[in-house]
Chains A and B, each alone.
Chain A
């Protein structure tokens, strides 16, 4: 109080004192002073708004020290404990999840689906955590359409932590299982393969197993392409387990596990032609009570497989229904001695060698030929016949004489160039390359029998490839089951002179003409060229007189062919057993309808007159 009173005096000295005091107060802060009564009281309020400089500095220093400590600790942890902390952080919020992929579809050349993966369900339990009561088993059995015993057996036969109760459950069954709300029974989702065309395309398309892995046909040949590969990604999860952010794909040893989705495959197959082929072959096998049969249809221009059918077949949607017997793709896996179907190749070799022309006459009198103690015979004595007639009538004697007039390797080389003893390029798994041996070429009987199709083993697909070469004027092409396969064009190469191939193709038309071995192979509205074959089968080391294989191979139309077709009927037991009786009608029926489906205008055939099939002046301009 005294201080304030003295200041109020108003002297200059007093004023300067007040300023000094104020400055000191500003620096030192308010302090308590003693009044007259000796009691302490606060200084002026204006003094409290200006804290002392030392205290301010201390606070700043304190904050700075705290900041430095925290930064230092952070830096220390970031450097020394980085991996541990990162791991712990990720363990709490980052999860790896699998990205499922489903198998690609298979289509025919017109976009018709041949194999489709559809979502299905499966029911499973954890046997260690789940105890199914008899009532639960009964309810499950009712829902799944099984007996309680089967459900219980599956429940007990699984691993300790996982047991399938049922797989391939349709969506409505999955819904019923969910609605049953049986404790511990869980539902999973998986994809399964379905084949809408069923038996019709079974051998070409193939099948997958229950785990969706290719087992046969295209499904096996293109398994990795169709299946793709599931990926894995890291995701950030919140406390409730929901994903809130995708982080990255999982890396395994620098391999990024991004999903590879299964890709679709487009086949060269035409489902319309395939069904036609399947139906006609099945009818022929049943009608002739044959053991089995095969049919291969190729696009004469591109070498694409338009149809491939076998009997017996199987249902790939329930593939175990016919066992292994029906699963075999006989068109590429069964080997036959081709019999007379190779005679056009022998004639081609003779034309190339210059030993014969189509008009060259060969004496087949007296209807048989003895070579080294063996007898080769024709059904009758045909006397002197031209090479064209020898082919049309399938004379063993004439063909044998032609082979013996050529060099030792001429016929063998022709077969080799036609593709016998080699893969056809169709890439189907299980394909056989057959047998073409030069071991007996030094023996006349070996050369003679080879010339009419014995001592060589081929598949129906190899015969089709050889006839494709004949239809293509001597250009051999790899076969393909894919549409627009660029590899095929690259594989094309001329293996015979065009003139010779054309001459042989022309002679083959006589086979279907009246007087040939297969007038029944003539389509009603189209010209065609081909050759029959009837080969005896070997049983127990010797040729069986009662077991035959009937062939017909050819192409149509005869000029500018569109399709090449091979029909094989194995061990027919009907009225006829020969290629001209058993296989030729199948050729005629399939060619007639197939060319109509392909939009080829009729150009002759049996309805046009008896000589139309042998007419040589129908080449379109």
Chain B
């Protein structure tokens, strides 16, 4: 009889624990999904920023800014300057 009660109690505890673990797993899964979404968003933002940086730093853009905005000239002839 005692053994039976212990067994039933064990089954009940195991059931409750299984349910608790299952709930916890769902919570963790939700957090994982949220984190993955955040990661995807950050990755997308990183790519946009990388693209923006590369576009601004492209030599075509640099030369355009240097010649048009700063009135600079690309040296046409290389000359040696000696002090």
Chain A residues close to B by CB (< 8 Å): 112-113, 116-119, 171, 194, 196-200, 242-246, 271-272, 275, 279, 523-525, 592, 607
Is chain B's binding surface mostly helix, strand, loop or mixed? helix
Let me know if A198 and B47 touch, CB within 8 A.
no
* Chain A minimum-CB-distance residue to B25: A245
Which one, B4-12, B13-21, B48-56, is touching chain A?
B48-56
Q: Is the CB of B51 within 8 A of A118?
A: yes
Q: Which of A194, A246, A524 contacts B80 (CB 8 A)?
A: A524
Partner of B48, one of A118, A242, A244: A118
CB interface residues, B 32-83, toward A, < 8 Å:
33, 44, 47-48, 50-51, 54-55, 57-60, 63, 74, 77-80
7 contacts between A and B (CB under 8 A): A113-B50, A118-B44, A118-B51, A119-B44, A196-B58, A279-B63, A279-B74
With A and B bound together, what is the CA distance between A171 and B54 in angstroms?
19
Q: Is the Cβ of A117 less than 8 Å from the Cβ of B47?
A: yes
Given A113-B50, A119-B47, verify A275-B59 contact (CB < 8 Å): yes
In the complex the two chains form, is A119's CB within 8 Å of B48's CB? yes
B31 within 8 Å of A by Cβ?
Answer: no
Contact yes or no, B59 A199, CB < 8 A? no
Return chain B residues, CB-CB under 8 Å to A271: 59
Q: In the assembled complex, which residues on chain B have CB atoms less than 8 Å from the CB atom of A244?
A: 26, 29-30
Other-chain contact of A245, B26, B59, B77 (Cβ < 8 Å): B26
> CB-nearest residue of chain A relative to B45?
A119
- Complex Cα distance, B30 from A198, in Å, reads 42
Q: Which A residues lie within 8 Å of B78 (CB)?
A: 523-525, 592, 607
Please give the distance in Å from A607's CB to the nearest CB on chain B.
5
Task: Give chain B residues whose Cβ lies under 8 Å from the Cβ of A199.
Answer: 60
- Residues of A within 8 Å of B25, CB to CB, are 245
Asked whether A116 lies within 8 Å of B50 as measured between CB atoms, the reply is: yes
In the complex, A53→B74 CA distance in Å?
A: 112
Contact between chains at A116 and B60 (CB < 8 Å) = no
Flag if B29 contacts A245 (CB, 8 Å).
yes
Is the pair B51, A200 in contact by a Cβ cutoff of 8 Å?
Answer: no
B51–A116 touching, CB < 8 Å? yes
CB neighbours of B57 from chain A (8 A): 196
Chain A residue with minimal CB distance to B54? Answer: A196
A412 CB to closest chain B CB (Å) equals 41
CB distance from A312 to the nearest CB of B (A): 15
Closest residue on chain A to residue B48 by CB atoms: A118
Which B residues touch A524, using CB under 8 A? Answer: 77-80
Q: How far is the CB of B55 from chain A (nearest CB, A)?
A: 5
Tell whether, in the assembled complex, residue B33 and residue A243 are in contact, meaning their CB atoms are under 8 Å apart: yes
Given contacts A196-B58, A197-B59, A245-B26, 20 further A-B contacts (CB under 8 A): A112-B54, A113-B50, A113-B51, A113-B54, A116-B47, A116-B54, A118-B47, A119-B47, A194-B51, A194-B55, A196-B57, A198-B60, A200-B59, A200-B60, A243-B33, A272-B59, A279-B63, A523-B78, A525-B80, A607-B79
CB B52 to nearest CB in A, in angstroms, measures: 9
Q: How far is the CA of A73 from the CA of B30 in the complex (A)?
A: 37
Provide the residues of chain A in CB contact with B55, threshold 8 Å. 194, 196
A242 partner residues in chain B, CB cutoff 8 A: 30
A245 to B77, CA, bound (A): 68
How long is the Cα–Cα vector from A245 to B28 in the complex, in angstroms?
A: 10
Which A residues lie within 8 Å of B29 (CB)? 243-246
Q: Are the CB atoms of A198 and B58 closer together than 8 Å? A: yes
Q: Which among A118, A197, A525 is the interface contact of B58 at CB below 8 angstroms?
A: A197
A246 partner residues in chain B, CB cutoff 8 A: 29
A196 to B53, CA, bound (A): 9
Docked pose: A113 CA to B58 CA in angstroms = 10
> In the complex, which residues of chain A have a beta carbon less than 8 angstroms from the beta carbon of B60?
197-200, 275
User: Is there an interface contact between B26 and A200, defined as CB atoms closer than 8 Å?
Assistant: no
CA distance A117 to B44 in the complex (A): 9
**Chain B hits for A525, CB < 8 A:** 78, 80
Residues of chain A contacted by B47 (CB below 8 angstroms)? 116-119
**B25, B74, B77, B78 interface centre (most CB from chain A within 10 Å):** B78
CA distance A119 to B45 in the complex (A): 8
A321 to chain B, nearest CB (A): 15
Q: How far is the CA of A592 from the CA of B74 in the complex (A)?
A: 14
Evaluate contact between A196 and B51: CB separation under 8 angstroms.
Answer: yes
Give Cα A422–Cα B30 distance, bound, in whole angstroms: 58
Residues of chain B lying within 8 A (CB to CB) of residue A275: 59-60
Q: What are the 9 A-B residue pairs with the smallest beta carbon separation, nearest first?
A: A196-B54, A275-B59, A524-B78, A119-B44, A196-B55, A113-B54, A116-B51, A118-B47, A607-B80
Partner of A200, one of B33, B58, B77, B79: B58
CB neighbours of A279 from chain B (8 A): 59, 63, 74
Residues of B within 8 Å of A523, CB to CB, are 78
B16 to chain A, nearest CB (A): 19
CA distance A385 to B44 in the complex (A): 67
A245, closest chain B residue (CB)? B29
Nearest residue (CB) in A for B77 is A524
CB of B49 to closest CB in A, whole Å: 10
Residues on B with C-beta less than 8 A from A117 are: 47
Report how far A272 CA is from B62 CA in the complex, Å. Answer: 12
The CA of A112 and the CA of B79, in the complex, are separated in Å by 30
Q: Residues of B contacting A171 with CB < 8 Å?
A: 48
Residues of B within 8 A of A592 (CB): 78
B74 CB contacts on chain A under 8 angstroms: 279
CB distance from A549 to the nearest CB of B (A): 25
Chain A residues lying within 8 Å of B58, measured Cβ to Cβ, are 196-198, 200
Chain B residues closer than 8 Å to A118, beta-carbon distance: 44, 47-48, 51
Q: How far, in whole Å, are A41 and B56 apart by their CA atoms in the complex?
A: 105
Bound CA–CA A592/B79 (angstroms): 11
Docked Cα-Cα span, A524 to B75, in Å, equals: 13
Q: Shortest CB–CB separation between residue B41 and chain A, in angstroms?
A: 9
In whole angstroms, how far apart are the Cα atoms of A113 and B51 in the complex?
8
Question: Across the interface, which residues of B come within 8 angstroms of A272, CB to CB?
Answer: 59
Complex-state Cα separation, A196 to B61, whole angstroms: 10
Tell me the nearest residue of chain A to B26, going by C-beta.
A244
Chain A residues within 8 Å of B50, by CB: 113, 116
